[in-house]
Amino acid sequence: MKLFSVQNITYSINENKLFHNLSFEINSGEGLHIKGGNGSGKSTLLRIILGITSPSKGLIQSYDQDLKISYLGHKNAIKNYLTPIENLELLFSGDDLNVAFEWLNKFGLSHVQDELTASLSFGQQKKLALIRVLAQSSDLLILDEPFVGLDQATADQLNSFLAQKISQNAGLILTSHITPMIDCAVLDLGAKNA
């Protein structure tokens, strides 16, 4: 099933063109890996797909108005003055909350669940942010650099979780400098054009 189509997107910031006439489609049950050098516009492209940033030219067409999207940006959207448990309580309720708590176990965060998030390591905070995204039942996952800050074991784990999401017919778009071990299409934005 088609989720989104991106048609002839051009984006420029303060008159500098980041990318030009980009077109692709996103289907459910498929992954897309966006790669490219620093400053090539990977994150911006994600934000355009999400509708946070508007493109200078072109069109994003969504085929389902009620599409549930979970997004992991550069910013974690985690409150560091709350504990992981409290963070999840803020985001989820009812059965979803129990599902989210299970994810704490899966990522091995249960032993720090009552400590302030601010005192956790970068990797642990990242895991918490991933839990926020993965515990939602969503049709499309958009992840900006999900592997940054994770150790090899956790990265492998994340790969398998993402593969599982795809097999459950969710769409996936991610940006990453390392190649994810998931079967997915690749879009290369190239190095930063000077």
Partner 1 sequence: MLSFIKAESFKLSKKLKSWLGPLLVMVLVLIAFPLSIDISQYDLDKFYFSIIIVSLLMTAFVATEGMFEEDFEDGSLEQEFLKEKDFYKLVISKIFVYVCLIGIPIAFIGALFSFANGVAVDSFGKVFLLLILSNLLLFNLFAFGNALSINKGAMLGVLSSLPLALPVIILLGRAIRSIQYEDGFFAVTTLMVGIGLMVSAIMPLIISVALKTHID
Partner 2 sequence: MLLLGWIWGLLFAPQDAVQGNSYRIIFLHVPSVIFAELIYFFMAVCALMHLVWRVKLAAYLIKSAAPIGAMITFIGLFSGSIWGIPTWGTWWQWDARITSTLILFIMYLGVLTLHGSFSNLEKADRLMSILVIIGVVNIPIIKKSVDWWSTLHQPASISVSGSSSIDPSMLYPLLISIIGLGFTLISLGILSSRSYILSREKNKKWVLMHV
38 is a site residue for partner 2 (CB under 8 A): no
Indicate which single residue of 1, 2, 8, 13 sits in contact with partner 2 (rule: CB under 8 A).
13
53 binds, among partner 2, partner 1, none (CB under 5 to 8 A by kind): partner 1
Which residues have C-beta within 8 Å of that of residue 30, sequence separation ≥ 6?
Answer: 166, 171, 172, 184, 185
Based on the shown chain and the rule CB under 8 A, indicate whether residue 14 belongs to the binding site for partner 2. yes
**Are 164 and 156 contacting, i.e. CB atoms less than 8 angstroms apart?**
no
Using CB distances below 5 to 8 A depending on partner kind, what does residue 73 bind out of partner 1, partner 2, none? Answer: partner 1
Could you tell me if 19 and 41 are in contact, meaning their C-beta atoms sit under 8 angstroms apart?
yes
Beta strands 31-35 and 185-188, pairing class = parallel
Distance of CA 99 to the CA centre of its chain: 19
Strands (DSSP E) along 36-180, which ranges? 57-62, 69-72, 140-144, 171-175
The footprint of partner 1 (CB under 8 A) covers: 50-54, 69, 71, 73-82, 86, 90, 93
Q: Which does 111 bind (CB under 5 to 8 A by kind): partner 1, partner 2, none?
A: none
Q: Nearer to partner 1 by C-beta: 59 or 77?
A: 77
**Smallest distance, partner 2 to C-beta of residue 43, A:** 14
Q: Which pairing describes strands 2-13 and 16-27: parallel, antiparallel, or unpaired?
A: antiparallel
Given the complex with partner 2, which of 153 and 194 has the nearer CB atom? 194
